[in-house]
Amino acid sequence: MKLALVNASPRGKKSNSGLLLKWLVRDLPADAEKTLVCAVKAEDQKAAIGQIAGCDALVIAFPLYTDAMPGITKKFFENMMESKKSFSGKPVLFIIHSGFPEAVQSRMAERYVRYFAGLMDMHPAECLIIGGTEAMRFAPEEAFGKRANALAALGKKFVAGQVLTESDLHMPGHREKFPRAVMGLFNVIAPLTDVFWNQLLKKNGAFKKRFDRPYQ
Amino acid sequence: MKITMINGAPAGEWVAYEKALERLKEKHDVDIFTVRDLNIQYCIGCFGCWVKTPGRCVHQDDMDAILKSVVSADLQLFLSPAADGFITADTKKVLDREIPLVLPYIRNFDGECHHPTRYGKQPDLGILLMDDGTLDDETKDITFSIFDRLAKNFHCRRMIKQAVTAETIAEVILNEARIG
């Protein structure tokens, strides 16, 4: 099995997408053949697609940007379509992750990637949605042990060609949408979550400008 | 009405649509941005526009002019042909670069987490899919559904979603402007 891993994050190698892919392949046999490519530069994408054209299965990971794939990821999809024959008939797993905690934010993007897989004649097509990934940049990997373990188990099943169940595709802490009561409570605690962003603003000497309107 | 129009079509076959847009300028204050002719970098997800230079992207490019137009617009319209089931990468990269229009903070809006706006009132939002006869229903529905979510995230009062031809595009926009 030749597995292609596409890190389709604009942040490239140091992205959350990269970390999720690392966890996904963590428990694969040592002799499993893996090719990892990045899609971060439009001019390099066709060469990257050439590198993975001989794969048996693909995993494509990207963050949610303005309710869909990032622009550079869309460019990658457009370039992939030009090499449709290389991917036709192959299984694909999409990983869509987001800073938002709820999966509902990514469901329309999921609908798109499933449609895209159909246009590419790639099957079966699976999609994993993971919320709340932005915190992964600022905490040690050990803090996300359950998520890493669940991804590693999913990776093994995908590579083995096993059918992925709904429970495989729900990472620990998965929330489709929060109940009304929880969101009511969120109204009270939301300002506390500002601390994360305010710390970054202060570190950059930009806290006083946080509400600036430079184009008005 | 002040309209900001983002045209994400590639060069060539869509020129009849672009000519039709000129009619709008007779009745409205319209800024048309043709992405393929502009220097606009892809968003790199650095969040500099939130935590380093609030409201401004780290890229210094033609996106400045678009954002300046959007913050004073009544209506922002995206115009794109379908490319593999969705808007073009050129159209999407402009959308991505609009995150300086919201704040990094998260609040509860209608039971979901969303970012508050940086500028208060947001213009109405529209997506016009250019239909050359090959546009399929699934592409339309997926694209419109994603824009529905965008309208939520950007706190837009009204959302316009239409498939248009070169013959109908100007009339569709004029009608929507009348309603707005």
Distances (CA, A) of A115 to A47, A83, A108, B143: 24, 17, 11, 11
- Which domain range does residue A47 map to? 2-159
Q: Please indicate, yes or no, if residue A139 is contained in any of the structural domains.
A: yes
Contact B44 A102 (CB under 8 A): no
Distances (CA, A) of B131 to A44, A86, A113, B176: 31, 29, 21, 18
Query: pLDDT digits over B46-89, tens only?
Result: 999 999 999 999 999 999 999 999 999 999 999 999 999 999 99
| CB proximity list for A14: less than 8 A, separation 6 or greater | none
- What are the boundaries of each domain within chain B? 2-179
Residue type, A202: K
> Could you tell me if A139 and A186 lie in one domain?
no
* Structural contact between residues A103 and A111, judged by C-beta atoms closer than 8 angstroms: no
**Residue A125 parent element (H or E):** strand A125-130
Contact A68 B113 (CB under 8 A): no
Q: Please indicate, yes or no, if residue A88 is contained in any of the structural domains.
A: yes
Mutate to test the interface with A, among B71, B94, B96 (most CBs of A within 10 A): B96
The answer to whether the pTM exceeds 0.90 is yes
**Residue B157 to chain A, least CA–CA distance (Å):** 17
B32 interfacial to chain A (CB closer than 8 Å): no
> Could you tell me if A124 and A44 lie in one domain?
yes
Six token digits for residue A17: 């997408």
Helix ranges (H only) for A136-179 are: 145-159
User: Mean pLDDT of successive 10-residue segments in chain A (216 residues)?
Assistant: 96 95 94 92 96 96 98 98 97 97 96 98 96 87 93 96 93 90 86 91 98 96
Instruction: Please report the pLDDT score of residue B178 as a whole number.
Output: 79
Instruction: Please report the pLDDT score of residue A67 as a whole number.
Output: 97
**Residue A32 to chain B, least CA–CA distance (Å):** 31
Distances (CA, A) of A178 to A184, B123, B170: 10, 29, 42
Q: Please indicate, yes or no, if residue A214 is contained in any of the structural domains.
A: no
User: In a 3-state reduction of DSSP, which class is residue B44?
Assistant: coil
> Could you tell me if A34 and A102 lie in one domain?
yes
Instruction: Please report the pLDDT score of residue A135 as a whole number.
Output: 84
Smallest Cβ distance to A193: which of B47, B64, B106?
Answer: B106
Query: pLDDT digits over B167-176, tens only?
Result: 999 999 998 8
Q: What is the mean pLDDT of residues B93-100?
A: 98
**Residue A5 parent element (H or E):** strand A2-7
> Could you tell me if A16 and A83 lie in one domain?
yes
Give the C-alpha separation, B151 to B143, whole Å: 12
* Structural contact between residues B2 and B24, judged by C-beta atoms closer than 8 angstroms: no
Mean residue pLDDT of chain B comes to: 95
> Could you tell me if A186 and A138 lie in one domain?
no
* Structural contact between residues A128 and A171, judged by C-beta atoms closer than 8 angstroms: yes
Place of tokens 């990983």: A95
Instruction: Please report the pLDDT score of residue B180 as a whole number.
Output: 66
> Could you tell me if A99 and A197 lie in one domain?
no
Q: Please indicate, yes or no, if residue A205 is contained in any of the structural domains.
A: yes
> Could you tell me if A193 and A92 lie in one domain?
no
> Could you tell me if A52 and A106 lie in one domain?
yes
CATH number, domain of A140, equals: 3.40.50.360
Total structural domains in chain A?
2
Mutate to test the interface with A, among B93, B113, B137 (most CBs of A within 10 A): B113
Contact A213 B55 (CB under 8 A): yes
B86 interfacial to chain A (CB closer than 8 Å): yes
Instruction: Please report the pLDDT score of residue B146 as a whole number.
Output: 97
Give the C-alpha separation, B129 to B119, whole Å: 28
- How does B50-87 read in b/e, with b if 16+ C-beta sit within 10 Å? bbbbbbbbebeebbbebbebbbebbbbbbbbbbbbbbb
Q: Please indicate, yes or no, if residue A216 is contained in any of the structural domains.
A: no
Give the C-alpha separation, A86 to B6, whole Å: 34
Q: Degrees (nearest 5) of the Cα angle A153, A154, A158?
A: 120
Q: Please indicate, yes or no, if residue A110 is contained in any of the structural domains.
A: yes
Q: Please indicate, yes or no, if residue A116 is contained in any of the structural domains.
A: yes
Domain B2-179: CATH architecture, name and number where available: 3-Layer(aba) Sandwich (3.40)
> Could you tell me if A148 and A200 lie in one domain?
no
